Structure 1
Amino acid sequence: MTKVDFYLLTSHQPQASKRFACKLTEKAYRLGHQIYIQTENQAQAQEMDELLWTFRQGSFVPHALINSEEADESPVLIGYEREPEGKLELLINLCAEVPAFFSRFQRVAEIIGQDENHRHAGRQRYRYYRDHGCLLETHELNF
């Protein structure tokens, strides 16, 4: 059964959700997990690719875009539009909708910013996961 963690951020900064996704990715990577970051589109995937290199000085999170040559060797993949291959444990969803393949992951992280559109979409995803029998947990964070 998939466990879904909803992270409710209090920050109004426009990049807060993406920066928190980087922090969460770094933590999961250090714990030895295989991670997939699902983005809305190619532009957001490339933005996350760049942000993972620069979000915090001294941080190192080896990652690759799903369609790159390095994807087979990377513990962190970033993609959009298609289901990733391989054994991955954590899905960090940055999309407004639930990915159809979410149930193949042990854990899913949903990051909800302060924007009302994000909150509304987050509530819809919460109901979807609840209706599909997932274990749900909510975390309110000062981030």
Structure 2
Amino acid sequence: MSEIWFYHHESARIEQTLPALLMKVLERGGRALVISPLESRIESLDQHLWTFTDDSFLPHGRADRPRADQQPVLLAREPENINNATMLFCLDGADPGDGGGWDRVLVMFEADDPGALNAARALWSARKKSQTPVSYYKQSSSGRWEKSG
């Protein structure tokens, strides 16, 4: 069973923090799968990851497009690991499934999204009961992630 880290966004948006986390995965030689049940989020991230800074981009693709299995970062609606990712990022209340097969699962949710917040709470509770290792992180006022639980 993979360790699950919960990232609670109280001030920053997921679009602001996700690229840096994905870059760390790639720098360490890993691959990432980013899932959301919302097609609008997948479309938005697909554009954002090419343009989030003026001097860099994140190579990525979509699960519903050709050569998805070759992408270092893959955007999808389901947790099917077709690009052999080491890390799973769950957005918008996405269900990580059994959570197995990943080095780590990150559940990212924003404080102003009640559906994602409730899904994260339910997942936290269920995984704690099943004795899955879980950690909770929230951003400090300086923008750094701090472990809180």
- The TM-score with structure 1 as length reference comes to 0.84
Aligned to 1:139: 137
* Residue 44, structure 1, aligned to residue 41, structure 2: yes
More displaced stretch, 56-65 vs 92-101: 92-101
- 1:41 and 1:81 in contact (8 A); partners too: no
SS in 2 for 1:28: helix
Aligned to 1:7: 7
Which structure carries more relative contact order (alpha carbon 8 Å, separation 6+)?
1
Q: What RMSD, in angstroms, separates the aligned Cα atoms of the two structures?
A: 2.0
- The TM-score with structure 2 as length reference comes to 0.81
- Count how many residue pairs are aligned between Structure 1 and Structure 2: 140
Unaligned runs of 5+ in 1: none
Q: Which one-letter code corresponds to 1:126 in the other structure? A: W
**Percent of aligned positions with the same letter in both sequences?**
22
Describe how 1:85-96 pairs up with structure 2 within 5 A. 85-96=82-93
Describe how 1:54-69 pairs up with structure 2 within 5 A. 54-69=51-66
Unaligned runs of 5+ in 2: 144-149
1:139–1:82 Cα change, 3 Å: closer
- Tell me, in whole angstroms, the C-alpha distance in 2 between the residues paired with 1:24 and 1:38: 14
* Residue 73, structure 1, aligned to residue 70, structure 2: yes
1:128–1:98 Cα change, 3 Å: farther
Quick check: which one's helix share is greater? Answer: 1
Cα deviation for residue 101 of structure 1 reads 4.8
Q: Which runs of at least 4 in structure 1 moved beyond 4 Å after TM superposition?
A: none
Aligned to 1:102: 99
- Tell me, in whole angstroms, the C-alpha distance in 2 between the residues paired with 1:8 and 1:27: 19
More displaced stretch, 36-45 vs 82-91: 82-91
- Tell me, in whole angstroms, the C-alpha distance in 2 between the residues paired with 1:56 and 1:132: 40
